[in-house]
Amino acid sequence: MLLGLAIAAAATTLSAQQRPAAPPSPLAPDPNIKTLVSRLDLEKYKATIKGLTQFGDRRQGTKRNRDAVDWIEAQLKSYGCANVERIVYQYTTRPPQGGGGQGRGGQKPPDPIIASGEVREGPGGSRYRGTTRRTGVNNDPMLQPDEKLRALNTEPATDGERQEVYCTKVGATRPDEMYIVAGHMDGHGWGEAANDDGSGTALVMELARIFSMPDVVTDRSIRFALWNNEETGTNGARAYIEQRQALQGKENPPGSGRYPEPKWLGMIQHDMMMWDHGMPRADGTWNPEQRPEADVNIEFQSTAKKADEAMKLAFHFRYANEIYATDYPAAVGPHMTNTDSGPFMDIVPAISLRENERGMHTGAGWNPTWHQPIDVYKTFSDKDFRLGLNAAQTTFAGVAQLTNARLK
Ligand SMILES: [Zn+2]
């Protein structure tokens, strides 16, 4: 008590002139970035998700998936996003491997609670606690009550050629370096893949739209990538790495000032952005409403070769959220897993943004729509869509800072 008083007394003896100037508040927004972030709009974000749901669950290896790639490409072109390009690769189904998790179809839909109170190991180094529910991929068409949607989702996947699309904001002074902003456009489960991963795909498309506006300048480049084949094991992201890793930072043709594959500075993945309703209740039911304390979960993987840099990148986005997101905060965790940032994480700092932590939340059955027939647009409320919009604000602001984005 006495000591505290003494310190307080000493502090007051420092006059205003003796004190060093206060550093700028870390919470002060950059007016340029604030203006740009305000161009993100809930109704536009919803409309882009709605547009993606016209192709059903967008299962890889089907016409509905190819049609969705064409549609995404047309949108990116309409935004004026530069150099819209495709990766072409082959996909062959691997023979089924044992075990559960998010494997291929044939698994039962979620059934009543399977554990309560015990701590179990989850994916990515996570721990399950409290009430958990079984997860899996619905493969039963009859669980989709909407006959039109059921018919749309009927064609099965066929092995063969696959394509995925990306476009690029070319940096004004550092076109040879880029951040990759990504989501996966394929889905499954006989719904509309509205949340998994229409919500992440639409987020990436919305960022591409705004960064491509003619009055926006960045120093560094930004690539917007919509991976295919995530649900079969991140095959689309792996194909990209295989085909393009060695091209990084090379000017082509020499002397042209063009860099078809800028050097990778970071990879920011978005996978399931809208549903944070909390843990299943003790009776196995879920809160039907977004919980008020919902947040954006930013994850890096502590076992990655680039873990330290990825952790810094994750906190960079968390700070961006504090300054620029309008409704929901962000949290950082060390157990990123099961998404397209995984194949990048030993090469470049890689993080994922999600509605929940993939391990201890999603893996424990916190999202009843996951890979299920109810992952359709109409399941989600504006509070859900708004969480996705806040993730978009977070990534937009974080990337805008990293690339020095500004208005002309
Ligand atoms: Zn996903």
Query: What CA–CA distance (Å, rounded) separates 198 from 376?
Result: 10
Note the pLDDT of residue 19.
64
The secondary structure element, H or E, covering residue 314 is: helix 307-324
Tell how far the Cα of 270 is from the centroid of ligand 1, in angstroms: 8
Residue 178 corresponds to which tokens in the numbers above?
Answer: 């880029």
The helix (H) or strand (E) run that includes residue 91 is strand 82-91
C-alpha 14 to ligand 1 mean position (Å) = 56
pLDDT of residue 7: 44
* C-alpha span between 185 and 228 (Å, rounded): 6
pLDDT tens digits, one per residue of 153-164: 999 999 999 999
| 337 CA from centroid of ligand 1 (Å) | 11
pLDDT at residue 284 in the model = 87
The string of DSSP codes covering 8-49 is: HHHHHHS-TTTSPPPPPPTTPPPHHHHHHHTT--HHHHHHHH
The Cα 178–Cα 166 span in angstroms is 13
What pLDDT, on a 0 to 100 scale, did the predictor assign at position 21? 66
Looking at residue 290, its amino acid is: Q
Q: Which pLDDT score, from 0 to 100, does residue 24 have? A: 55
Cα of 183 to ligand 1 centre, how many Å?
8
Q: What is the pLDDT of residue 96?
A: 73
Question: What is the Å distance from ligand 1's center to 364 Cα?
Answer: 15
**Ligand 1 centroid, distance to 152 Cα (angstroms):** 20
Task: Provide the pLDDT for residue 22.
Answer: 62
Q: In order along the chain (408 residues), what is the average pLDDT of each group of 10 residues? A: 42 53 70 97 98 98 98 98 96 74 42 64 91 92 98 98 98 98 98 98 98 98 98 98 98 95 98 97 93 98 98 97 98 98 98 97 95 98 98 98 97
Distance in angstroms (rounded) separating the CA atoms of residues 254 and 343: 30
CA of 263 to the centre of ligand 1 (A): 26
Compute, in angstroms, the gap from residue 154 CA to the centroid of ligand 1.
20
The burial of 120, by beta-carbon neighbours within 10 Å (0-12 exposed, 13-18 middle, 19 or more buried), is given as middle
Q: Distance, CA 61 to ligand 1 centroid (Å)? A: 17
Report the C-alpha dihedral over residues 12, 17, 20, 26, rounded to 10 degrees.
Answer: 80
**What are residue 284's phi and psi, to 5 degrees?**
90, -5
Cβ count near 104 (within 10 Å): 16
Residue 314 to residue 241: CA distance in whole angstroms: 22
How far, in Å, from the CA of 230 to the mean position of ligand 1?
A: 7
C-alpha 1 to ligand 1 mean position (Å): 55
d(CA 19, ligand 1 centre) in Å: 52
**Omega before 288 within 30 of 0, i.e. cis:** no
How many Å lie between the centroid of ligand 1 and the Cα of residue 399? Answer: 22
Please tell me the distance between residue 173's alpha carbon and the centre of ligand 1 in angstroms: 34
From residue 283, give the alpha-carbon distance in Å to each of 111, 115, 129, 132: 12, 11, 15, 11
**CA 143, 148, 149, 155 torsion-angle sign:** positive
3 state SS of 349: coil
Where do we find the tokens 């998936």?
A: 65
Residue of 113, 119, 131, 342 lying closest to 227 (CA atoms):
342
CA atoms within 13 A on the CB side of 98: 0
Rg of the chain taking only CA atoms, in angstroms: 22
What are the tens digits of pLDDT across the range 8-32? 444 444 454 566 666 555 678 999 9
**367 Cβ neighbours under 8 A, 6+ residues apart:** 195, 272, 275, 277, 355, 356, 361
Ligand 1 centroid vs 184 CA: distance in angstroms?
A: 7
CA of 209 to the centre of ligand 1 (A): 22
Q: What is the pLDDT of residues 247-264, one digit of tens each?
A: 999 999 999 999 999 999
Give the Å distance between the CA of 225 and the centre of ligand 1: 14
Asked whether the beta carbons of 124 and 338 are under 8 A apart, the reply is: yes
**What distance in angstroms lies between residue 196's CA and the mean position of ligand 1's atoms?**
5
Looking at residue 118, what is its pLDDT? Answer: 72
Residue 330 CA to residue 321 CA, distance in Å, equals: 6
CA 348 – ligand 1 centroid, Å: 21
List Cα–Cα distances, 127 to 136, 296, 334, in angstroms. Answer: 18, 19, 12
Give 259 Cα–ligand 1 centroid separation in angstroms: 30
What are the backbone angles phi and psi of residue 386, rounded to the nearest 5°? -70, -30
Q: What distance in angstroms lies between residue 233's CA and the mean position of ligand 1's atoms?
A: 10
Task: Tell me what pLDDT residue 140 has.
Answer: 97
Centroid of ligand 1 to alpha carbon of 321 (angstroms)? 22
What separation in Å is there between the alpha carbon of 101 and the centre of ligand 1? Answer: 13
d(CA 118, CA 16): 56
Distance, CA 391 to ligand 1 centroid (Å)?
15
Question: How far apart are the CA of 271 and the centre of ligand 1, in A?
Answer: 5
